[in-house]
Amino acid sequence: MFVLEFVNEWTGRTACALQAALRMSNEGFAQHLGVAKRTVAAWHSKPDVTPRSEMQDALDTAFDRASDSAKARFRRFAEPTGAPDSPDVVGDQVQALTVAIAVVVDGSRVLIVCRRGEDGGGISWQFPAGMVKPGVAPETVAIRETLAETGVHCAIVRKLGGRLHPITHVRAEYMLCEYLTGEAQNMDVLENVNVAWVEKEELARFIPLDHIFPPILEALEDSK
């Protein structure tokens, strides 16, 4: 897999892409770089800003020290696709980083994936998800990334809404999906450790309830 090796000049947008690739909150990313939290927040509000030279060096260092999987994520988040209908900038508007999250249900079960920690040790269970490129519908990303990560085909039932993710501070759009076909398996060994169907009643054993978007819990309760 090709991984972007360097960034010529950092902007607020690419700095936020690195933050998302490292899966850090604003506070965690600020501590990682040794800057104030308001500096990171400013990159989110002004994605076209060019950080000063010493900040460019700090971002270079953070990127150089990132794991190969984080660099691969950064490449997906930060680089244009090259397709004419998928620009990074639409008109004068820069699209904020957005992730589409699929909550796939099959009867009493829900599909989750186990992500690798950046140090190769820590893990966390999450719903299948993927970054939304400009010009691509979140619903399309949710279906496509679920298949790419787990081998499971699903269909959108309805949107559950969106929020600024409490940990990554990236915009998240949630989709309730129904299982169609396919055997759940780990299709992305670089990113994930495992893929599993779990009973809805046991979901809190894997993902803390206070991390789960409330409409997800309501939808799972309604579908029992």
pLDDT, one tens digit per residue, over 58-83 is: 998 898 888 888 888 888 777 654 33
Q: What is the pLDDT of residue 120?
A: 47
Cβ count within 10 A of residue 196: 15
Q: Considering its fold, how many domains does the chain have in total? A: 2
Together in a domain, 106 and 181 = yes
Place of tokens 């499971």: 152
Together in a domain, 115 and 195 = yes
Together in a domain, 168 and 60 = no
- What pLDDT digit, counting tens, does each position of 163-199 carry? 988 777 788 999 999 999 999 999 988 778 899 999 9
Q: What percent of the chain has pLDDT over 70?
A: 86
CATH of the domain at 134: 3.90.79.10
In a domain, 135, yes or no: yes
Partners of residue 179 on adjacent β-strands: 154
CB 25 within 8 A of CB 167: yes
In a domain, 108, yes or no: yes
Together in a domain, 105 and 209 = yes
Together in a domain, 76 and 147 = no
- What pLDDT digit, counting tens, does each position of 98-133 carry? 889 999 999 999 999 998 765 445 678 999 998 888
Together in a domain, 122 and 196 = yes
Contacts of 14 (CB under 8 A, 6+ apart): 7, 78
Mean pLDDT over residues 130-150, rounded?
90
Instruction: Report pTM.
Output: 0.63
Together in a domain, 52 and 124 = no
In a domain, 7, yes or no: no
Together in a domain, 113 and 166 = yes
Q: Which region among 138-147, 159-168, 212-221 has the lowest average model confidence (pLDDT)?
A: 159-168
Last residue of a domain, one of 54, 81, 108: 81
Cβ count within 10 A of residue 74: 22
Together in a domain, 114 and 29 = no
47: containing domain: 12-81
Sort strands 98-106 and 109-116 into parallel, antiparallel or unpaired: antiparallel
In a domain, 3, yes or no: no
Together in a domain, 212 and 109 = yes
Residue with more model confidence, 71 or 91:
71
Together in a domain, 16 and 108 = no
Comparing CA positions, the residue from 151, 141, 73 lying closest to residue 111 is 151
